[in-house]
Amino acid sequence: MEKKTRNLIFGLFWMLLASSNLCIDGLNIWPMPSSLKYGAKTLYLSKDFGLDTVGSKYVDASSTLKDAFQRLLDIVETAHAIDTNSTYYNPSLLLKGMRVVISSPNDEFGVDESYKLSIPSSGNPIYATLEAPTLYGALHGLQTFSQLCHFNFTTRIIEVRQAPWNIIDQPRFSYRGLLIDTSRHYQPLPIIKNVIDAMAYTKLNVLHWHIVDTQSFPLEIPSYPKLWNGAYSPSERYTMADAAEIVNYAKRQGINVLAELDVPGHALSWGIGYPSLWPSSDCPEPLDVSNEFTFKLIDGVLSDFSKVFNFKFVHLGGDEVDTSCWVMTPHVRKWLTKHGLNETEAYQYFVLRAQQIAISHGYEIINWEETFNNFGNKLSRKTVVHNWLGGGVAQQVVAAGLRCIVSNQDKWYLDHLDITWQQFYMNEPLTNITNLQQQKLVIGGEVCMWGETVDGSDIEQTIWPRAAAAAERMWTPYDKLAKDPRQVTGRLSHFRCLLNQRGVAAAPLTGRGRAAPEEPGSCYKQ
């Protein structure tokens, strides 16, 4: 019913080519585990495939593991209707269930995320075994297991190919982040939850929530209830209960939420509710450094944050601070003179004071790299410096003994649509850092989905699959990473199609970020 644009003979050729190329084999796991061995037998998931936690020390009082196991079954069975009456399989090849043994009740961030997954090829009955020091490791193991499961179009049931499996796995970096920005565009809760689900599939573990910025202030702050007057509209807001729901939803998937309060720049929207935060209404940014109310309010915000955002870090921003409004506004200029501060010193004063407030609420701090570039030796030793301007800063940060997160914008900014997945994959956080102690100070990296042109309609395909390419860089041991991205094209393509099969709107690998497919074709070829 659409005009025939393709030559029929070419189409035929293409189809034969495509159908002869089967991407599915046991090595289509993303991100690639540290170590794996596999065999040649095919097992079948029992229709009552169950969870067994005998021997586990993890109490699972809030059913986090139980729910994760149910999600595993749901995503494995979502792509096709399972035939629960299938009689095709050999009973001796039936995988009856999974034993999950967690040796610690601990579920704090930064602890051991390792796991061991073994699937024997015989037994009576056969059980998979997932061992992990912590819940987080077990959650990762379940994700890996889900990628070993395939729908068999003959038997109509789920099978695990290439058993026996022995996988030993752990992340290379403890901080594997994705930033979302709800100030430039409000993102409704179900959209954020979808992003979190796909993060779990890729073993990313920190959702950096850039909640507020110049454009809008969508979050409720109970201590200062007029702040969300700066929301775009009355309905484009999050209550603190909404924020708690996001935090809890993420936590149950092994993901911590890093809340950001970007001060003193990027904060114009704060003054909609409290205009005295502005130097003046004509010159409203950065926040008024001369006004004690500014710091009182930041204290109130961080106090409210600490009740909901229970990750050990808070992000205090500190980037792109243009202090000219401080100099141009008489009462602020007067204050600067009185305290003998020049503009840079006032900027430093602001950032350090905000750091002290955050520390008083029990947080460690993350700040964007300008704070380090301007007064790195003054920053709290609890500071993690967040790189973004380009390469080379991480080296300096760790040489100075501070921790660092890598997000260089030329490679890991998802809003830069011209950055290909290959560039995301090849961006190495430890570039030029050879000292082992210094390497350990690079706690990880983060891909950033700034929201200028991203709303609920296009956030998923702008993030995926490029963020997944970076996720392997952050998870997989350096020696197992491809030196040439062409070596992983087929596997990433397979993972992108898997995301689609799970309902995630991951874009084709070809073309720019979030590009539509250019022509008809198989998911595995685009």
- 519 belongs to the catalytic site: no
Distance CA 437, CA 440 (A): 5
In terms of CB distance, is 295 or 524 closer to a copy of itself?
Answer: 524
Helix 189-202, helix 466-475: angle, nearest 10:
40
> 43 forms bridges with which residues in the sheet?
160
Q: How many residues does the chain have?
A: 526
DSSP 8-state code for residue 308: H
Name the minimum Å distance from CB 84 to a copy of itself.
Answer: 10
Q: How many CB atoms lie within 10 A of CB 367?
A: 26
Name the minimum Å distance from CB 49 to a copy of itself.
Answer: 19
Catalytic entry in 320, 345, 364, 428: 320
In terms of CB distance, is 29 or 268 closer to a copy of itself?
Answer: 268
In terms of CB distance, is 169 or 369 closer to a copy of itself?
Answer: 369
Q: What is the DSSP string of 163-218?
A: EEEEEEE--S-SEEEEEEETTTS---HHHHHHHHHHHHHHT--EEEEE---SS---
Name the minimum Å distance from CB 247 to a copy of itself.
Answer: 11
In terms of CB distance, is 171 or 230 closer to a copy of itself?
Answer: 230
Helix H, strand E, coil C: the string for 207-224 is EEEECCCCCCCCECCCCC
Name the minimum Å distance from CB 18 to a copy of itself.
Answer: 5
Burial call 447-456: b when 16+ CB within 10 Å, e when fewer: bbbbbeebee
In terms of CB distance, is 430 or 505 closer to a copy of itself?
Answer: 505
Helix 189-202, helix 489-501: angle, nearest 10:
140
Helix 489-501, helix 466-475: angle, nearest 10:
120
Q: Which one, of 232, 340, 348, lies nearest residue 289 by Cα?
A: 348
In terms of CB distance, is 355 or 438 closer to a copy of itself?
Answer: 355
Q: Which one, of 374, 269, 256, lies nearest residue 315 by Cα?
A: 256
What phi and psi, each to the nearest 5 degrees, are found at residue 297? Answer: -70, -45
Asked if residue 286 lies in contact with residue 325, where contact means CB atoms within 8 angstroms, the answer is yes
Name the minimum Å distance from CB 22 to a copy of itself.
Answer: 6
Name the minimum Å distance from CB 372 to a copy of itself.
Answer: 14
Q: Which residue has the tokens 């991205």?
A: 485
Burial call 369-378: b when 16+ CB within 10 Å, e when fewer: bbbbebbbee
In terms of CB distance, is 266 or 411 closer to a copy of itself?
Answer: 266
Name the minimum Å distance from CB 114 to a copy of itself.
Answer: 31
Name the minimum Å distance from CB 125 to a copy of itself.
Answer: 26
In terms of CB distance, is 51 or 316 closer to a copy of itself?
Answer: 316
Distance CA 403, CA 372 (A): 11
Asked if residue 23 lies in contact with residue 494, where contact means CB atoms within 8 angstroms, the answer is yes
Residues involved in catalysis:
320
